[in-house]
Structure 1
Amino acid sequence: MLTYLRYAILTIIALVLLTIALANRTVVTVQLLPDTLAGVTGFNLSVTLPLFIILGLAIGFGLLLGFVWEWVREHGYRSEAARARREAQALRADLQRVETIAPQTRKDDVLAVLEAR
């Protein structure tokens, strides 16, 4: 059921994007600099494409920039999680070492740990 819902949502998104593309087929020229500044610098980069391609590239660039920004922002959380993972692994290894060394006949775990050291 959930698979059909996902396909339905993807179909609706595709139809909306197709409608936007058909409505914005006009060819436009995008310039890097205004004409007056281009005259001073001596160059002007310009591109002529259909408007829907320019809109799609702008949205894609914005998404990519947002993903990179979020990845950089979460660096501290990832490093803290890696540190906690290493600490938990060390504690598990220590617990396993103590359990193999400590006699299994003891009823008191605290005394078994103290005797193992």
Structure 2
Amino acid sequence: MRFIRLLFVVFLAIVLIAVALANRDIVTLSAFPANFGQYLGGQWSVDLPLFLIIFLAFACGMLAGLVWEFLREAHIRREARLRSAEVARLESEVGNLRSRHAAPRDEVLAILDRPKGAVPGATGPAASGSALPAPR
């Protein structure tokens, strides 16, 4: 898997370098259309190589997608956090109930809990919590 990841990164680097070398011309990037910036004052355009504009547009698109997904999945993360707190509370409650209700067992229950095929009086430990005597 590590080799495949390295191969992908190398391939991506080659593609990006090829795009950069093919698009080295300087272009003007304007923030507003056709001299609209003159009404706002200042210069609202910049001269950059075309590959840099392509890479910046790609990075801005990735960032916008990341923010969009983060906001879209916020309710899922909140629900998971609430469910995990509920699970922890229930596990604690089950643990408390087990310790509180771990009273000594009835002799009949000890016989019923014995594994199948076990012969009464054969060697082996008695069921835990039973009042039966241990085998000799």
Shorter chain as denominator, the TM-score bin is 0.7 to 0.9
Pairing 1:64–2:69 present: no
Instruction: Specify which structure has the bigger relative contact order, considering alpha-carbon pairs within 8 angstroms and separated by 6 or more residues.
Output: 1
Counterpart residue identity of residue 28, structure 1: V
Letter of the 2:92 counterpart: A
How far the C-alpha of 1:9 sits from its partner, in A, is 1.3
Give the deviation of 1:37 after TM superposition.
1.8
Deviation per CA, 1:34-61, whole angstroms, max 9, x where unpaired?
A: 2332233334411111111111111001
TM-score (norm 2): 0.72
TM-score w.r.t. the length of structure 1 is: 0.82
1:6 equivalent to 2:5? Answer: yes
CA distance in 1, matches of 2:98, 2:13: 58
Q: Which amino acid aligns with 2:39?
A: V
Which amino acid is 2:84 matched to? R
- Greater share of helix residues, 1 or 2? 1
CA distance in 2, matches of 1:68, 1:104: 55
Contact 1:33–1:44, Cα closer than 8 Å, also in 2: no
Distance 1:10 1:74 in 2: 28
The structure whose Rg is larger is 2
Gap regions ≥5 residues in structure 2:
110-136
C-alpha RMSD of the superposition: 1.5
Change (3 A) 1:24 1:51: same
The 5 Å alignment of 1:1-117 reads: 2-106=1-105
| Structure 1 residue 66: Cα displacement | 0.4
Q: Percent identity?
A: 34
- Deviation of 1:104 after TM superposition, in Å, equals 4.6
Q: Output the CA distance in 2 between the equivalents of 1:3 and 1:12.
A: 14
Range moving further from structure 2, 32-41 or 16-25: 32-41
Q: Which moved more, 1:20-29 or 1:3-12?
A: 3-12
Contact 1:32 1:44 in 2 (8 A): no
Whether contact under 8 Å (1:32, 1:46) holds in the other structure is yes
Structure 1 runs, 4 residues or longer, greater than 6 Å off:
none
Structure 1 stretch displaced more, 65-74 or 36-45: 36-45
Count of residues in correspondence between the two structures: 106
Higher deviation after alignment, 19-28 or 34-43: 34-43
Unaligned runs of 5+ in 1: 108-117
